[in-house]
Structure 1
Amino acid sequence: MNWNELLRLPATLLAILACIALLAALVQLLAARRHVHRRRHLAATGHVLLMLVLVIVTVFLAGLATTLRGYRFLSDEAPVVQIDSRILSPQRWDLILTWPDGSMRQVTLTGDDFQIDAIVLKWKLPAMLAGLPPLYRLDRLTGRYDDAGQETNAPRTVIDFNEAGQGDLLDLKKQFPSWLPEVDTVFGSGTFLPLVDGGHYEVSLMRTGALVARPDDATRQRIGQPMGE
């Protein structure tokens, strides 16, 4: 990841700003000590007050950076994850998840389909006009049965991506709506596709917040074939 990509991540940018504010607070502390030694108490008081303000800003930015952990910017269409499937037994699958940064995860899923869900945050118009793009984070991957009755009774698999930071934006928006006045809405988006042996799928998220899953050509042909062929 280059610096341009790194600085686009909201949590990273906020963490950098928090560090800058903390350094500025330390500078004010040193200046206050210097004025105290020279018996300039009024000037020292001014530096102490400014230091306290910078400490509050540091805590706020650091807390917001923690809250935004796991969220990512949405471009016109952002790649989310690639999924490769291999059948282990009827309605039991081995999946390899490959993230855009190259990291991988192997999971076992039960069902006929995979379903992947994300949490999407969209800003109000002033923030959008200022160029602030929507954010998203993956929520979970689940197995899905084609038969509704089996969906009720058969074993289900839920894979939690656990990308939310402490004090996640979704929870904060529910509990303290006035704290995030520029947040227009936080909503869920999901998509599913049938699983086939040797399947390859690409999941992406559009700027509108719609999660999209696409099979490659070979997988699409297998999906269209009757079972057993």
Structure 2
Amino acid sequence: MVWWWWILPGAAALAGALLLLSGLGALFRGRFLGAFSGVLFGGGILAAGVAAILLGLNVQSYARLTHERPVATITLSQIETQFFEATLTQPETDATPASTAVYPVHGDEWRIEAHVLRWKPWANILGLDAQYRLDRLSGRYQDTQQELTAVRSVHDLRGGDVASERRWTLDVWDVSRRYRDYVDAVDTLYGSAAYMPMADGAQYEVWITQSGLIARPVNEQAREASAGGWVQTD
């Protein structure tokens, strides 16, 4: 997180406040010329510093509340009709290496789910982004009757999956609940999912936002499969 947007204006505002207080002190001592210059320059610097801080907060709030980051890439390879292999790649972080796993998926669409810990807007502004833990990868059918009778495929992304465990542990949620009465920063813990159509060679990126998961087509095969105003998230 970049802190300069409030450190520099804050330092200027502090200097202005000190000049202003010095000018007021000179006024009480009868030093009118020093008082005038102190109040004039101190007040001006203080006002400019406060205005810069407010502007910085406005910019920072927009940046944090619209922040997105990638959580997975899904690449599909068709084996037969309504049967695909989904290669799930999770990106490298500062603490852990990237990971890749392959899952068999039946159906017309893939679906990825996650638990999301969402912070309140003021906590976002301070730099706390939405936390997540990938939960499962599954296939789904466009036809509801097939969904009831056809082969299902659901894969747990928690358990021994190092890539998902590294993203978020329940300790974050437990601590936030325990101290919620003192620091009410947690908005909600909820489930989020994104699903997109499967096609041979299609590749998608899954992103976490402050509102949950979203999915985007990456290559031409994915764009063709998801053309026509296809709903990406739920």
Q: TM-score, normalized by length of structure 1?
A: 0.56
Residue in 1 aligned with 2:223?
Answer: 220
Cα distance between partner residues in 2 of 1:125 and 1:113: 33
Cα distance between partner residues in 2 of 1:135 and 1:171: 9
SS of corresponding position for 1:117: strand
Residue in 1 aligned with 2:120?
Answer: 124
Asked whether the equivalents of residues 133 and 169 of structure 2 are also in contact (C-alpha less than 8 Å), the reply is no
Letter in 1 for 2:191: G
Residue in 2 aligned with 1:200?
Answer: 203
With 85-94 and 117-126 compared, the bigger mean Cα shift is at 117-126
Asked whether the equivalents of residues 142 and 157 of structure 1 are also in contact (C-alpha less than 8 Å), the reply is yes
Render the CA deviation track for 1:146-169: whole Å, top value 9, x for unaligned: 100111122211111114589825
Bigger relative contact order, structure 1 or 2 (CA pairs below 8 A, ≥6 apart): 1
Residue in 2 aligned with 1:168?
Answer: 170
Residue in 1 aligned with 2:60?
Answer: none
Residue in 1 aligned with 2:45?
Answer: none
Q: CA, structure 1 residues 154+139, in 2 after alignment: closer, same or farther (shift >3 Å)?
A: same
Cα distance between partner residues in 1 of 2:65 and 2:126: 15
Give 4+ residue runs of structure 1 displaced > 6 Å after superposition: none
Name structure 2 gaps, 5 residues minimum.
Answer: 2-63, 93-97, 159-163, 229-234
SS of corresponding position for 2:151: coil
Asked whether the equivalents of residues 75 and 201 of structure 2 are also in contact (C-alpha less than 8 Å), the reply is yes
Task: State, as a whole percentage, how many aligned pairs show the same letter.
Answer: 33
Alignment pair present for 1:96 and 2:87: yes
Letter in 1 for 2:193: G
Cα distance between partner residues in 2 of 1:214 and 1:84: 10
Asked whether the equivalents of residues 117 and 173 of structure 2 are also in contact (C-alpha less than 8 Å), the reply is no
Q: CA, structure 1 residues 168+111, in 2 after alignment: closer, same or farther (shift >3 Å)?
A: same
Letter in 2 for 1:190: A
Asked whether the equivalents of residues 68 and 210 of structure 2 are also in contact (C-alpha less than 8 Å), the reply is yes
Residue in 2 aligned with 1:108?
Answer: 104
Asked whether the equivalents of residues 118 and 211 of structure 1 are also in contact (C-alpha less than 8 Å), the reply is no
Residue in 1 aligned with 2:136?
Answer: 140
Q: CA, structure 1 residues 220+167, in 2 after alignment: closer, same or farther (shift >3 Å)?
A: closer
Cα distance between partner residues in 1 of 2:226 and 2:185: 43
Residue in 2 aligned with 1:157?
Answer: 153
The CA RMSD over aligned residues, in Å, is 3.2
Letter in 2 for 1:209: G
1:20-99 pair list within 5 angstroms:
76-99=67-90
Name structure 1 gaps, 5 residues minimum.
Answer: 5-72
SS of corresponding position for 1:218: helix
Asked whether the equivalents of residues 140 and 161 of structure 1 are also in contact (C-alpha less than 8 Å), the reply is yes
Q: TM-score, normalized by length of structure 2?
A: 0.55
Number of aligned residue pairs: give it: 152
